[in-house]
Amino acid sequence: MEIETQRYDVVVIGAGGAGLRAAIEARSRGLKTALVCKSLLGKAHTVMAEGGIAAAMRHVYEEDSWQVHFRDTMRGGKMLNNWRMAQLHAQEAPDRVYELEAWGALFDRTADGRILQRDFGGHRYARLAHVGDRTGLEMIRTLQQKAVASDIDVFMECKILRLLTDGDGQIAGAVGYWRPTGEPVLFVAKAIVLATGGAGKSWKYTSNSWECTGDGHAMALWAGANLIDMEFVQFHPTGMVWPLSVRGLLVTEGVRGDGGVLRNAEGKRFMFDYVAEMFRAETADSEEEADRWYTDHAGARRPPDLLPRDEVARAINAEVKAGRGSPHGGVFLDIASRRSPEYIRRRLPSMYHQFMELAGVDITKEPMEVGPTCHYFMGGVRVDPDTAATAVPGLFAAGEVAGGMHGSNRLGGNSLSDLLVFGRRAGAGASDYAEGRSQVGTVDRAEVDAIVEEAMAPFARSSGENPYALHSDLQETMQSLVGIIRTGSELDTAIEQLDVLRDRASRVAVDGPRRYNPAWNLATDLPAMLTVSRCVALAARERKESRGGHTRDDYPTADPQLGKVNFVLSQPGGDGWSAEIKVAPEPIPEMPADLRALLEESH
């Protein structure tokens, strides 16, 4: 069988913020660079990021510094973060933002003409560079335009199925297919960067788009890399809850950063009742103090509404469970009674538009109904902090698909900066690797043919499982059993159900042509979704404590011993996507004393 073959020095899979930034870096080194994406260019999930890019640029608060940003990030992640990644991130984020501006981004300005920064949950100072509530769009468009001007070859609507390694275990290429035609394609490369984002589409209520199916997590695992922290899934506290068809759609944390507060059905600002010991010293204990903070960060402590996302999501969950929720099973997010309509429309234009169009709610007049929604994977491929290299030689990973940076919980605004900082580092790491390699690896044609054949198999079955029904059942399982609050017995049940789903997935049948066939496209996404879901459930069962984005009803407190380990997943059995996955605890890297001292400073 002949197969279209593309040869490159560096192939970047995924064209969100991290993938674009990695490709730009590789191309700037003069390497032949391909950028492969599942959708059209500029539509990746980064486009939905709203609030901003966290970077200690000190435009609004002189007191800010990379050290404070580092401390906030580590505390937000409940100290499980890879300290080196958190350090590099805090140190390099400002340069990455300035760089975007030099490439044409137009951020909102301060009175003296510099980039304006806004407040966000868990950040001690106003730190987020932003454009209203559409920062992700600004970022992806800027990078997209830079990439096009840099002469990077972009391959759109191409689904990558599997990575290939050669005889000595180095990366050799990747196999996929063109969605518009259904024809297979082989990429042969000296180095590959994974920038495929998250896997929220395995949950029923999620802010994620259809693309977030964990392709990179799964492909890395299958190729021999390790995943860490997969139990930590961030449920963003404020997703829309009504109408049902938009349930899960994101409501930016910027609403609270700009003065919005959470209330229960009784109108009470309940977050004051949910301030964990760790954050008590720096959180306001009266509404008066909390309201004063918006204009006076030095003289008042921050409102509890702006605690890290895991804290707020759990609180909302508890209020709804206690019967104090809103009519559609959320709580109220109120900015209407606190800020002028003009201010709200200027600061939060797309939120205004989104609620007006989709829910018929005027957020300048009424409160929004919100509840937790599956949003972000803290866990991902284990990488070297400086180079983004994975355990597979020649394979690199950056952005949401990489693990470690955010520990057990990510702060808002730290994702866009993560994409830029580690996207660039992965591009550089892959370039170094490619430059040091005289030849591309050898691709085993029989393996390529087998991958293509497996992908086409659903067409050959005259009857079998419906991929849509299977996906929907997977979402039910993950939503109800591996959601925001977990218990051992439910995780056991989830793993049993995932076994059944895996079995069913091997019998999926689809009809119609190969060209742009969404049923088939979904069928080819299922192996990754099922693998990643299994990783989450397995790791969640092992972590017998509550920490960050992982809450166990049967182990409700944090265990200091478990605060010193990552659970590492591997698939030593090799290639089949149904092979068993191993979970093992490993100690987290030891933090140097000077950085530890930063964390111990009392604030």
Partner 1 sequence: MDVTMRVWRGDETGGEFRDYTLPAHEGEVVLDVIHRLQATQAPDLACRWNCKAGKCGSCSAEINGKPRLMCMTRMDHLPEGPVTVAPMRTFPIIRDLVTDVSFNFEMAKLVPPFAPPPPGPGGYRMQQIDIQRGQEFRKCIECFMCQDVCHVIRDHEENKQYYAGPRLFIRYAELEMHPLDTNDRRELVRQKMGLGMCNITKCCTEVCPEQIKITDNAIIPLKERAVDAAYDPIAWLGRKILRRHKRSPAEAQAVGR
* Residues with active-site annotation: 236, 256
Burial class (CB in 10 A: 0-12, 13-18, 19+), 266: exposed
Q: Which is nearer to partner 1, 106 or 597 (CB)?
A: 106
Q: Which is nearer to partner 1, 144 or 165 (CB)?
A: 144
- Quick check: 65 binds partner 1 (CB under 8 A)? no
- Quick check: 520 binds partner 1 (CB under 8 A)? yes
- Quick check: 512 binds partner 1 (CB under 8 A)? yes
Tokens of 397: 């990973």
User: By the 8 A CB rule, do 40 and 157 touch?
Assistant: yes
Answer positive or negative: Cα dihedral of 39, 179, 193, 152.
negative
Selected from 220, 250, 430, 529, the binder of partner 1 by CB under 8 A is 250
| Least distance (Å) between residue 34 CB and partner 1 | 15
Q: Look up residue 28 and give its DSSP letter.
A: H
Give the DSSP H or E segment for 464: none
| Least distance (Å) between residue 56 CB and partner 1 | 13
- Quick check: 346 binds partner 1 (CB under 8 A)? no
Selected from 47, 93, 420, 536, the binder of partner 1 by CB under 8 A is 47
Q: Which is nearer to partner 1, 54 or 57 (CB)?
A: 57
Number of Cβ within 10 Å of residue 585's Cβ equals 14
Can you spell out the DSSP letters for 246-285? GTT-B--THHHHTT-EEE-TTS--GGGGG--HHHHTTB-S
Query: How far does Cα 528 stand from its chain's mean position?
Result: 16
| Least distance (Å) between residue 512 CB and partner 1 | 3
Residues 351 to 370 in contact with partner 1, rule: CB under 8 A:
353-354, 357-359
Stretch that binds partner 1, among 264-272, 307-315, 378-386, 460-468 (CB under 8 A): 460-468
**Backbone φ, ψ for residue 568 (5° rounding):** -110, 130
Q: Which is nearer to partner 1, 47 or 401 (CB)?
A: 47
Task: Round to whole Å and give the CA distance between 325 and 170.
Answer: 53
Number of Cβ within 10 Å of residue 486's Cβ equals 25
Selected from 6, 28, 145, 506, the binder of partner 1 by CB under 8 A is 145
- Quick check: 246 binds partner 1 (CB under 8 A)? yes
Tokens of 424: 């660039």
Tokens of 343: 């201010």
Give the DSSP H or E segment for 568: strand 565-570
User: By the 8 A CB rule, do 203 and 374 touch?
Assistant: yes
Tokens of 559: 């265990």
Task: Round to whole Å and give the CA distance between 331 and 264.
Answer: 5
Q: Which is nearer to partner 1, 373 or 571 (CB)?
A: 373
Selected from 30, 63, 109, 340, the binder of partner 1 by CB under 8 A is 109
User: By the 8 A CB rule, do 565 and 585 touch?
Assistant: yes
Half-sphere exposure of 598 (CA within 13 A, CB side): 20
Residues 439 to 458 in contact with partner 1, rule: CB under 8 A:
none
Q: Which is nearer to partner 1, 350 or 493 (CB)?
A: 350
- Quick check: 148 binds partner 1 (CB under 8 A)? yes
User: By the 8 A CB rule, do 399 and 22 touch?
Assistant: no
Binding mask 462-501 for partner 1 (x = CB under 8 A): ----xxxx--x-----------------------------
Task: Round to whole Å and give the CA distance between 314 and 302.
Answer: 19
Residues 113 to 142 in contact with partner 1, rule: CB under 8 A:
113-115, 131-132, 134, 136-138, 141
Stretch that binds partner 1, among 34-42, 117-125, 407-415, 426-434 (CB under 8 A): 34-42
How many residues touch partner 1 under the rule CB under 8 A: the total is 69
Task: Round to whole Å and give the CA distance between 526 and 90.
Answer: 36
| Least distance (Å) between residue 223 CB and partner 1 | 27
Stretch that binds partner 1, among 77-85, 103-111, 281-289, 530-538 (CB under 8 A): 103-111
Give contact residues for partner 1 (rule: CB under 8 A): 39-45, 47-48, 57, 59, 97-98, 101-104, 106, 108-109, 112-115, 131-132, 134, 136-138, 141, 145-146, 148-149, 154, 156, 180, 209-211, 242-246, 249-250, 350, 353-354, 357-359, 466-469, 472, 510-513, 515-520
